[in-house]
């Protein structure tokens, strides 16, 4: 809820400072498609997919093999236990935010490549929420799989259900899917199952 509130605040600040008109976003990647035999592949989407898989592999290696990646995992799991082990929680949170900002910047550069941009572009953050929750917040490799599930579900909802709902079902389907999965598996499809003993 804090994330959603922050998005609305930032949208309001953006309108006050820069206005609500659209502005062109520069071409980071050329729009010409790749030709593979008889097939034409969208260059920005293809390069974005390759870059995403590379970043996922890098993050997985970081959080599973390197000390400060394991430190971030410990802080995310329990602040008090991390502090008792001598870990600086504030420093770990700052590093986490820095990584988040870097990944968000890369994602925006690929997603908005050559498009018109305005204050509503922040909605992509809300669209990413069902993917993260569906995968489970501890799972890195679960994110692309959850993204594939959400994307295919949204496409099918658009094709089969949108004609009967005025185009609304494809927009809310990811959230309905997320709620349905979380009712069965509160920790997501690939997240850690937490067992608490009292």
23-47 confidence digits (pLDDT tens):
888 888 777 777 777 777 788 778 8
With a cut of 60, say whether residue 124 has pLDDT above it: yes
Same domain (yes/no): 39, 104: yes
With a cut of 70, say whether residue 198 has pLDDT above it: no
DSSP 29-80: S--PPEEETTEEE-HHHHHHHHHHHHHHHHHHHHHHHSHHHHHHHHHHH-HH
**Boundary (domain end) residue, out of 117, 148, 171:** 117
| pLDDT at residue 39, rounded to an integer | 77
| pLDDT at residue 122, rounded to an integer | 67
**Boundary (domain end) residue, out of 83, 117, 151:** 117
Total domains, the chain = 2
- 6 is a domain residue: no
Same domain (yes/no): 39, 99: yes
Same domain (yes/no): 190, 128: yes
Average pLDDT (169-183) is 82
Same domain (yes/no): 128, 105: no
- 49 is a domain residue: yes
Domain span at 159: 122-198
pLDDT band (50, 70, 90) for residue 81? confident
With a cut of 70, say whether residue 68 has pLDDT above it: yes
Return the residue matching tokens 């899917």: 177
Same domain (yes/no): 33, 113: yes
| pLDDT at residue 9, rounded to an integer | 85
Q: Taking Cα atoms as reference points, which of 182, 92, 103 lies closest to residue 140? A: 103
Same domain (yes/no): 94, 141: no
**Tokens of residue 89, six digits:** 């929680």
- 186 is a domain residue: yes
Same domain (yes/no): 144, 60: no
Task: Kindly give, in sequence order, each residue whose CB lies less than 8 Å from that of residue 56, ignoring residues fewer than 6 positions away.
Answer: 140, 141, 143, 144
Same domain (yes/no): 32, 113: yes
Same domain (yes/no): 27, 111: yes
């Amino acid at each position: 809820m804090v994330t959603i509130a922050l998005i609305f605040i930032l949208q309001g600040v953006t309108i006050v400072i820069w206005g609500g008109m659209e502005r062109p976003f520069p071409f980071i990647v050329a729009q010409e498609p790749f030709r593979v035999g008889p097939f034409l592949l969208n260059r920005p989407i293809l390069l974005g997919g390759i870059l995403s898989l590379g970043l996922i592999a890098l993050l997985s290696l970081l959080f599973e093999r390197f000390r400060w990646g394991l430190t971030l995992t410990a802080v995310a799991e329990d602040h008090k236990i991390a502090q008792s082990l001598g870990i600086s929680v504030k420093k770990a949170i700052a590093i986490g935010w820095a990584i988040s900002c870097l990944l968000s910047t890369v994602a925006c550069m690929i997603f908005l490549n050559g498009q018109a941009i305005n204050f509503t572009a922040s909605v992509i953050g809300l669209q990413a929420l069902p993917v993260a929750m569906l995968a489970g917040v501890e799972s890195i490799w679960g994110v692309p799989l959850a993204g594939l599930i959400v994307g295919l579900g949204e496409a099918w909802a658009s094709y089969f259900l949108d004609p009967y709902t005025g185009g609304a079902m494809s927009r809310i389907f990811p959230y309905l899917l997320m709620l349905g999965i979380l009712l069965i598996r509160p920790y997501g499809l690939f997240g850690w199952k937490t067992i608490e003993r009292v």
